[in-house]
């Protein structure tokens, strides 16, 4: 069994609040007994929920926070006076001080990113952080980033995302040299905006040992699983993510309507129930809940605000994997290798007039 891993939880985040967070922590603990928790929130609400679960209480500590960041608060509001008293800030700060290895929150995304950037700061050489999401594919899972943190990334930022995403893939998937593709409107080298083309040239010329750059991928390639990491800027990435989530819900509704249409379709469902159960398991968004903030001096996991206990437990388990595999150190190492190889390549290209 690995040594204990301490995770800080924003107990007040999400639509359901402490009830969902505490239940999710208890579920995660059942599957990962090495976990320990520090829960930040209204002690009068959180402590009784924890105490009612003796196993969880034995490995948890509740810290009172008198301020709650609301789901509709603007990031600027969350950063105003009093932010240090909020459950969200205190959960992030626990990572900064070393009290916890990773922070998990289901709270306001914009506020969480703003606080995380302000508290943890970005890594040396990283201009903007990214949010990475795990995406189910036909061959397993892939990482897609950015899905909403950085709008309109330039070429260097896209390269940074590729390096950070490959470090996460090595941590989560155990792949020695993840395959990385740039999301584009076609696979031909002449297609796409100039920033994507430039990022492709930088990645190809750098020839990094930490990743295998395979070129451009299109939107329909993400689900095929032909790469381990899909790199894009936040505007396109967020639209792709929300489109995929909406399509999955749409297909589920079509399937339920078709199954219940006649007695023959209901009989067919009973005969093929095991296949439908496998499909449901594969498409269950709770199994891949958790967006990882990359590029900060510490790891923060954003759970879906509407997650239930099972979904929040998945986010906690993802946080555990990030801590166990020392994601931050892997990213720092990957960026250092790129800066040595990539910048030298870019400089030589400029001297030849190629860039």
Q: Is 230 left (phi over 0), alpha (psi -120 to 50) or beta?
A: beta
Strands 130-136 and 291-294, bridge-based pairing: antiparallel
* Same domain flag for 65 and 147: no
Same domain, 138 and 267: yes
Query: What's the rounded Cα separation, in Å, for the pair 25 and 36?
Result: 9
C-alpha closest to that of 11 among 105, 100, 115:
105
For 62, residues 6+ apart whose C-beta sits below 8 A from its C-beta are 11, 38, 39, 41, 43, 46, 47, 50
Q: Say yes or no: 340 and 197 in one domain.
A: yes
Confidence at residue 81, expressed as pLDDT on a 0 to 100 scale: 61
- Tally of structural domains, the chain: 2
The CB density around residue 245, as the number of other CB atoms within 10 Å, is 12
Under a CB-based contact definition with an 8 Å cutoff, are residues 21 and 289 in contact? Answer: no
* Whether residue 95 sits in one domain with residue 80: yes
Based on the fold, state whether residues 135 and 168 are members of the same structural domain.
yes
188 in the same domain as 76: no
Asked whether residue 146 falls in the same domain as residue 36, the answer is no
Does residue 148 share a domain with residue 16?
A: no
- Verify that 38 and 97 share a domain, yes or no: yes
Residue range(s) defining the domain that contains residue 330: 125-290+326-355
One pLDDT digit (tens) per residue for the chain, 355 residues: 457 899 999 999 888 889 999 999 999 999 999 999 999 999 999 999 999 999 999 999 999 998 888 888 888 887 876 678 899 999 999 999 999 999 999 999 889 999 999 999 998 888 888 999 888 888 888 999 989 888 888 999 999 999 999 988 988 888 889 999 999 998 887 788 899 999 999 998 887 888 899 999 998 898 888 999 999 998 988 888 878 777 777 777 777 777 777 877 776 766 666 665 565 565 555 566 778 999 999 999 999 888 899 999 999 999 998 898 888 888 888 777 777 665 544 444 443 344 3
> Which residues are CB-contacts of 52 (< 8 A; sequence separation ≥ 6)?
none
Residues 200 and 241 in one domain: yes
* Whether residues 169 and 95 fall in one domain: no
Q: Are residues 115 and 129 in the same domain?
A: no
- Neighbouring CB atoms inside 10 A of 260's CB total 11
Domain at 202, CATH number: 3.40.718.10
């Amino acid at each position: 069994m690995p040594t204990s891993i301490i995770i800080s939880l924003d107990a007040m985040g999400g639509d359901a609040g402490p009830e969902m967070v505490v239940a999710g922590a208890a579920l995660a603990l059942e599957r990962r007994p090495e976990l320990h928790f520090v829960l930040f929130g209204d002690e009068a609400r959180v402590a009784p929920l924890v105490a009612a679960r003796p196993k969880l209480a034995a490995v948890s500590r509740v810290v009172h926070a008198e301020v709650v960041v609301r789901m509709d608060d603007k990031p600027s509001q969350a950063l105003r006076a009093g932010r240090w008293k909020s459950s969200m800030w205190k959960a992030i700060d626990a990572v900064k001080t070393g009290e916890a290895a990773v922070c998990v929150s289901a709270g306001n995304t914009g506020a969480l990113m703003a606080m995380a950037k302000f508290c943890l700061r970005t890594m040396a050489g990283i201009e903007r952080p990214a949010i990475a999401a795990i995406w189910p594919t036909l061959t397993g899972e892939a990482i897609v980033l950015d899905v909403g943190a950085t709008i309109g990334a330039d070429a260097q930022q896209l390269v940074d995302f590729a390096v950070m995403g490959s470090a996460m893939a090595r941590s989560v998937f155990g792949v020695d040299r993840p395959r990385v593709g740039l999301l584009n409107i076609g696979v031909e080298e002449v297609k796409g905006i100039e920033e994507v083309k430039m990022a492709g040239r930088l990645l190809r010329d750098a020839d990094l040992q930490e990743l295998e750059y395979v070129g451009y991928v299109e939107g329909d390639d993400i689900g095929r699983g032909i790469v381990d990491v899909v790199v894009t800027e936040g505007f396109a990435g967020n639209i792709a993510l929300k489109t995929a989530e909406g399509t999955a819900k749409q297909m589920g509704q079509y399937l339920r309507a078709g199954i219940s249409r006649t007695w023959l379709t209901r009989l067919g469902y009973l005969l093929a129930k095991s296949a439908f159960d496998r499909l449901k398991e594969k498409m269950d968004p709770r199994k891949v809940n958790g967006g990882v903030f990359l590029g900060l001096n510490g790891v923060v996991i954003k759970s879906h605000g509407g997650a239930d206990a099972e979904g929040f437990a998945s986010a906690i388990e993802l946080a555990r994997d990030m801590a166990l595999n020392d994601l931050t150190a892997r990213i720092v190492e990957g960026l250092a290798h790129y800066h040595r190889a990539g910048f030298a390549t870019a400089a030589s290209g400029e001297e030849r007039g190629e860039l």
